[in-house]
Amino acid sequence: ISLYIRRHGVFVTRHPLLVLCASLLVPILLCIGLIRFKVETRPEKLWVSPGSQTAYEKQYFDSHLAPFYRIEQLVLATSASDQLEAPTIVNDNNFKLLFQIQKKIDDLRANYSGSTVSLADICLKPLSTDCATQSVLQYFQLDPKKHDDLGIDHAKFCFEHYSSEETCLSTFQSPIDPSTILGGFPGSNFTEASAFVITYPVNNKVETTGQENAKAMAWERAYINLVKEEILPMVLAQNLTLSFSSESSIKDELNRESTADAITIVISYIVMFAYISFTLGDRPSRLWALFVSSKVLLGLSGVVLVMLSVLGSMGFFSAVGVKSTLIIMEVIPFLVLAVGVDNMCILVHAVKRQPDGIVLEERISNALVEVGPSITLASLAEVLAFSVSAINPMPATRAFSMFAAMAVLLDFVLQVTAFVALIVYDFRRAEDGRIDCVPCARLKSSTVAGDNGGHQRLHFVARYMKDVHGPILGYRPVKFIVIAVFVGLAFASIAMSTRLQPGLEQKIVLPRDSYLQGYFDDLEKYMKVGPPLYFVVKNFNYSSASENTNQICSINQCNSNSLLNEIARQSLSPETSYIAKPAASWLDDFLIWMSPEAFGCCRKFVNGNYCPPDDQPPCCQLDQDSGSCSSNGACNNCTTCFLHSDLHNGRPSTTQFREKLPWFLDALPSSDCSKGGKGAYSTSLDHSGYENGIIQASAFRTYHTPLNKQTDYVNSLRAARDFSSQMSKDLQMEIFPYSVFHIFFEQYLSVWKTAIMNICVCLGAVFVVCFVVTSSLWASAIILIVLAMIVLDLMGVMAVLGIQLNAISIVNLVMSIGIAVEFCVHITHAFMIGIGDRENRVRQALSTMGASVFSGITLTKLVGVIVLRFAKSEVFVVYYFQMYLALVLIGFLHGLIFLPVVLSLCGPPQKTMKRIEQSQTPPSNEQT
């Protein structure tokens, strides 16, 4: 390998222009693929594996029942003083304010493709007439005149009788549970509520092109603007608080966040570039010589090469149809720049360490022989680690790994070809006395000649490493203290890492100034019920020969361990089940609706046609010629559908079930028969093809308890899955839970498995590459152990800082292995090619590569990371600044303190070298 590297160095030095042009051609051609560049922003396409269970369940629910509606929400609340609790919001003034807000929202018109869109055009309408607005105003049917006539006492009356009193029914003829429209009340004292929760359900459509919900999204953005500009000042004037959101809010705020922090990221890169330009150059004693010895143009060229490698990677994968992500655009440039800066520093410092008396060709080739193997080893280890971690089924992590592997590979190729050629040009420029950045201008030779300060800074770091750092680590007591401390920290980190919590708090992901911050606070503070939870039964056999009906229902003669009875039992222990109340059951209501006791419900004319309840629209509208309408509009000649003798054990036959189910689903609820299924259960079952005795999909809705933390969401999903699995086993039926958030939280059920798999695969890949390149099992094992300790310590720091385990932190852990390789490989390689006993070789490695690791790797990353502290979004501060800073410090401590001690105690033997390499003895301090 060394012989090949030497020949490569000679060739590049002799033909720099050819190498430069040929190496740049590849990434430039790959950049053509950027014309097909697309960014994936849909969360379900980023964080959900295509073959995941929840993805299948969501697809089944959407196709057989209906996509869960879009939610637009307002939370109007009273303010608490310092010593007193928040007063009740239930008073006439606040109701009048709410009517004013409702009118503004009803009058809102959004523009979409030249047409206007109102709430009535897009809202959910169970009865095809009125929006299913969830508001306390529904107790007055959204009519301010009824409020003036009935007063606030009517609302208080409805809090207790919402399910039985007809005057409390909503405009869409459905009872409104006060626990879903009020917040901040103790126990069941609804009159003491301190918040109104107003929800506008909007029709949702399955997205394939991304334009299916374009009308709704246009209205949502107009709604947010209306709330900010008009409604919020109205509320604040009444000394109330207001928080709000729309279905589009999170996506819009995330896009705003990525734009806001683009400046921070760019500044971070500029700072890294400024530092690398400074550290690559020499610090001469004469001011004028600085214009020649500086290497700003070389540093800038190196940064351009890094950007080309990133763009080439994006272009390649865009060309083959792989979409990019925000994580890729934010993290990979930083990753590749960090790796590229390392290599640039190491290469330039290696060339500068060569004796001044030899020709440039030999200096370049000697430098490549010295550091080329370690650069190759580190880069290939990173490439293989990222490539292997691309097996991760999570799309965002898999895409990141693929893009990163290609970018690091391109960066490595450009570093050892184009950048070496640029080094040749830069050193020739300096030898000719030409000014940096203006190479056409030249200083007098006398201005530059005789300056011996060219390597002053590197000389200081190298002398510190050899004369101070190395000897201190050489003391036996210090060695044992270092080993004890680092091993102790590793074991402590293992213990601490078990406290890592899965999840990703939405408030962290959003900008600090986002209006959603207050909204999520209010949800946690006021909401008394959580998201709707559906238990979906597949292939329900309703035939009389089947026991499925009694295995599901919860009324008389149903099995005691039926699905609905068990859901009701689970709701009695909400702390563990996360189920707030018994499920609403279309099956129970259907069986009651058609029973002989409910003589106002299932009725028929003499000719067998459906007869509506007496308080429904007149019968003569249905049957003009039969004369079935009496003078008062009631139906004549009607009778109940069944006698007791017509039913078997209170249950309909297969034929009766098949005939009467459409009647039930089309029956309007009323005071004569509140069990009508229209609206309430229109989307609760898929009755296409039900004539065969099988209902393909049937949903029973309940609610989760309030879910305030990420762990609540994860645990509620796990509990719902466990319950459904047990019921499927007990009842021999296929049952699964569905809630709108399940698809985003399934990843956290196996996040530990994903993290451990990725870390182990990456460590294994690094070990294989190290063994192949170094042919030393000994050295490879030491590098593996140190890398594992770095990752463990990083996970321990995550636990201490409260950083959660999620896709972003897993990506960072995978990336940390790639970056941590840089801290270990160069020191280990320098140790292996050193001369003398272990102690001497450690000091030689520290004085040469130790200085480069400190100034070129540690400090470079450090200055870039510190800038991220000033990002506007919390996610950058937590997951990038804190984790990267911890990684740099942990990697530095392990690479320059723990690893040298380990190598001095049990490092691999000296590497056998050919005479041509042996002649290149390590430089003395004077040379350095």
Residue 662 resides in a domain? yes
Residue 522 resides in a domain? no
Domain of 715, in residue numbers? 531-622+634-705+707-739
Range name among 194-203, 232-241, 333-342, 473-482 with the lowest pLDDT average? 333-342
Residue 918 resides in a domain? no
Question: What radius of gyration do the chain's Cα atoms show?
Answer: 36
Exposed/middle/buried for residue 312 (C-beta within 10 Å: 0-12, 13-18, 19+): buried
pLDDT at residue 919 tops 50: no
Residue 601 resides in a domain? yes
CB 98 within 8 A of CB 136: yes
- The predicted-structure confidence for 473-522, as pLDDT tens digits, reads as follows 999 999 999 999 999 999 999 999 999 999 888 888 888 888 999 999 99
Residues 579 and 558 in one domain: yes
pLDDT score at 631: 60
Quickly list H helices, 581-680: 586-593, 654-666
Cα angle 529, 535, 536; round to 5: 145
Residues 578 and 596 in one domain: yes
pLDDT score at 372: 87
Q: Encoding tokens for residue 66?
A: 């209906």
Residues 38 and 104 in one domain: no
Residues 75 and 214 in one domain: yes
Residues 722 and 775 in one domain: no
Is the Cα torsion angle 714, 715, 720, 724 positive or negative in sign? positive
Domain total in the chain: 4
Domain with residue 379: its CATH number is 1.20.1640.10
**141: alpha, beta or left? (left if phi > 0; alpha if psi -120 to 50):** left
pLDDT band at 352 (very low <50, low <70, confident <90, very high): confident
Residue 287 resides in a domain? yes
pLDDT score at 288: 65
Residues 340 and 479 in one domain: no
Residue 271 resides in a domain? no
pLDDT score at 33: 94
Residues 406 and 491 in one domain: no
Residues 35 and 134 in one domain: no
pLDDT score at 463: 80
pLDDT score at 534: 97
Range name among 597-606, 617-626, 866-875 with the lowest pLDDT average? 617-626
Residue 513 resides in a domain? no
Residues 606 and 752 in one domain: no
Q: Directed axis angle between helix 214-226 and helix 92-107, to 10°? A: 140
Q: How many CB atoms within 10 Å of residue 29?
A: 12
pLDDT at residue 864 tops 90: no
Residue 516 resides in a domain? no
Task: Over range 523-545, report the average pLDDT.
Answer: 93
Residues 148 and 206 in one domain: yes
Quickly list H helices, 212-325: 214-226, 232-237, 249-260, 262-280, 290-293, 296-319
Task: Over range 313-325, report the average pLDDT.
Answer: 92
Q: Among 328-337, 407-416, 441-450, which range has the highest average pLDDT?
A: 407-416
Q: Among 580-589, 649-658, 849-858, 913-922, which range has the highest average pLDDT?
A: 580-589
Residues 387 and 415 in one domain: yes
Task: Over range 627-648, report the average pLDDT.
Answer: 77
Q: Any idea which residue has 């006539």 for tokens?
A: 149
Q: Among 23-27, 264-268, 446-450, 505-509, which range has the highest average pLDDT?
A: 23-27
pLDDT band at 166 (very low <50, low <70, confident <90, very high): confident
Residues 802 and 865 in one domain: yes
Residues in a beta bridge with 536: 699, 736
What beta strand segments (E) does 66-207 contain? 70-78, 110-112, 115-117, 182-183, 195-202
Q: How many CB atoms within 10 Å of residue 327?
A: 19
Percent of the chain exceeding pLDDT 70 equals 92
